[in-house]
Amino acid sequence: MITPQSIQPGSTIRIVSPAGKIEEKHVMPAVNWLEEQGYTLKLGKHVFAQHFQFAGTDEQRAADVQDALDDADCDAIICSRGGYGTVRIIDRLDFTQFLKEPKWLVGFSDITILHSRLHNLEVPTIHGVMPRYFFNDKGEPREDLTSMMTLLKGEGISYNIASTEFDRQGKASGQLVGGNLSIVTSLSGTKYDIDTAGKILFLEDIDEFLYHTDRMVHQLKLSGKLDNLAGLILGDYTDMKDNESPFGQTVHEIFTEAVKEFDYPVCYGFPGGHDKKNLALAFGRDWELEVAESGTRLRLV
């Protein structure tokens, strides 16, 4: 992997909106905080543009992302939000200049498409919090933000997660990949599909019906993406829905049944995704995963 350089005070961070529209009030407090920490901020020309549910037209969003990718003075790109729309511009993006001077890309949810694209180009990325969720109700930096900045600065990080009744114990190490379950499955069969063999797969989702989640999990299984994992980490599954006629299984039960024939460790309930805590993960980097009766430890190698 071609690891981007760590950022430090004085580094330039660009904020872009590849997908859904967002208001200034949800971005500018984060911009001000980053500037107070000593970073130089550049906002894409169309960060606050609106075109139906998108942050501007496909052409506008792609232009902003392309400018950030090509900016030789930029050290990190933080996406303003997810939502929907990155898939509409991914084919418009040229990563030629970016690969000469790679930089960190940060985001989650719909940004999984960019994570997958860069993983296939062998550039690590950060699955982490976006500007709207930098701070708690008191205006203080959340642990989400602290963990994201730790990774951007190139510092080591380790997480200890409480055990659950569904955990499957064991140890594993390997590259971390994944992101949003719906996006990962939607990329199956495309040129942005990811190879999961020998890797630790992280998955999270929001606002999905349980039967739909079951279908996506079995799509992953039928495509072989669950066969040869080093390990599996399940993040938050937020605001999940059920039909009037209940599906009959929780998300954890769906995954447990789907991977019961395999022997790799499985961690349930990692605080990552769309819930109250979204701890940062470096995709494309090597991690050590240890799932034990006392809890799970995940450490960046």
**Edge-first strand listing for the sheet containing 104-107:** 40-43, 12-16, 74-79, 104-107, 125-127, 281-283
d(CA 231, CA 171): 8
- State the residue for tokens 């599954």: 237
Active-site residues, by number, are 109, 204, 274
Tokens of 30: 């984060």
